[in-house]
């Protein structure tokens, strides 16, 4: 009978419930915070690459405006200006014949049509989130491609 009375008294005792609830919820909140932090880093890196591509487009237009600069020289200028590694930037000259919708890597032979020149720039990067160390997910590859008409 005494044990039964103690059992009913425990039902009315609220001491320690906050500690138990915190112990159950804290790991979930910490995991969610880490996820939000990593996703914000992913979005930030993508935005940085998009901004770098826009800035590089301006550099391409400024440098290619009649200066006769080569793609390798242009690549060096952009890598230096944007603080990129040599494996993060690829520049390819492209050409279009008249009103054609396709771009070619070689200078086409156009009869009676103007040849337009383009520079295709590809920025690449890889971001490795923290959670990949725990076997969840994988690194995220970014690939930003811009094509700029130079003539």
57, pLDDT greater than 80: yes
Domain ranges of the chain: 15-149
Average per-residue pLDDT in the chain?
82
Query: In this predicted model, what pLDDT tens digit does every residue of 98-148 receive, in sequence order?
Result: 888 888 888 878 778 888 888 888 888 888 888 888 887 889 899 989 888
> In terms of Cα–Cα distance, which of 92, 80, 89 is closest to 144?
89
42 against 12, higher pLDDT: 42
HEC letters along 88-101: CEEEEEEEEECCCC
Q: What is the pLDDT of residue 28?
A: 92
Work out the pLDDT band at 40, boundaries 50, 70, 90: very high
Distance CA 11, CA 56 (A): 69
9, pLDDT greater than 70: no
């Amino acid at each position: 009978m005494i044990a039964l009375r103690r059992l009913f008294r425990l039902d009315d005792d609220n001491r320690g419930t906050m500690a138990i609830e915190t112990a159950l919820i804290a790991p979930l909140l910490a995991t969610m915070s880490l996820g939000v932090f990593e996703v914000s880093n992913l979005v930030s890196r993508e935005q940085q690459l998009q901004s770098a591509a826009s800035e590089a487009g301006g550099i391409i237009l400024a440098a290619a405006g009649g200066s006769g600069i080569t793609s390798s020289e242009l690549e060096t200028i952009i890598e230096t200006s944007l603080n990129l590694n040599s494996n993060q930037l690829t520049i390819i000259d492209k050409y279009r014949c008249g009103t054609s919708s396709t771009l070619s890597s070689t200078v086409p032979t156009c009869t009676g049509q103007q040849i337009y020149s383009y520079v295709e720039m590809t920025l690449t990067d890889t971001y490795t989130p923290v959670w990949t160390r725990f076997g969840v997910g994988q690194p995220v590859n970014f690939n930003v491609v811009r094509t700029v008409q130079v003539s």
